[in-house]
Amino acid sequence: MLELIIVCLLIAVSLAFSVPTLRQAMVIDQLAASSRKIIALIREVRVLAAQEQRPYLINFDLDRKKIWYQQDFPESKEEKEQTSPHPTIELPPSVRLQDILSGTADKKTSGEVTLWINKQGYMDQTVLHLADDQDNIISLVISPFFSTIKAYDSYINLE
């Protein structure tokens, strides 16, 4: 019985130390949550472009901290009327898109940036830098031909 009490006590102590850290990492860390949302959106649009065999645009408004996507070049007049921007991701007040480095353009730190995804789901190699109020940075490196998007906890340049 004494061994059981000691094991329960050890479990309680370890939980007391790990729960606040886990809560910080999973719920409160808005920078990481924002990067996960952006990664999910980019993957969704790449799959959508490949499924529909149509190019798409992902638009980043660096000043208003909004991200949305839409179909590029609707084929018919009805499609042009029906084509509207899809739901927008709005970044929390403490998170900002610091800059975007793309293979086809220079470093953009303000205004709107548009990334083009072709009908096979390919896009230029791009690096998105997100930062928060404490100047923590997450770099999202988007591979042109693979669906992998790597996240780094430091500033990464395009190579």
Residues β-bridged to residue 60: 67, 113
* 158, part of any domain: no
Residue 73's domain is classified under what CATH number? Answer: 3.55.40.10
- Tens of pLDDT along 117-138? 888 888 888 899 999 888 889 9
Domain assignment present for residue 143? The answer is yes
Residue 157 domain-assigned?
no
In angstroms, rounded to a whole number, what is the distance separating the alpha carbons of residues 5 and 50?
57
Residue 124 lies in a domain: yes
Q: What is the pLDDT of residues 67-97, one digit of tens each?
A: 999 888 766 555 555 555 567 888 888 888 8
Instruction: Evaluate if residue 101 carries a pLDDT over 90.
Output: no
Determine whether 90 is exposed, middle or buried from the number of CB atoms within 10 Å of its CB (0-12, 13-18, 19+). Answer: middle
Range of the domain at 38: 2-152
Does 35 fall in a domain? yes
Number of domains in the chain: 1
- Give me the half-sphere count of Cα atoms (radius 13 Å) on the Cβ side of residue 2: 0
* Residue type at position 90: E
- Chain CA centroid to CA 97, Å: 10
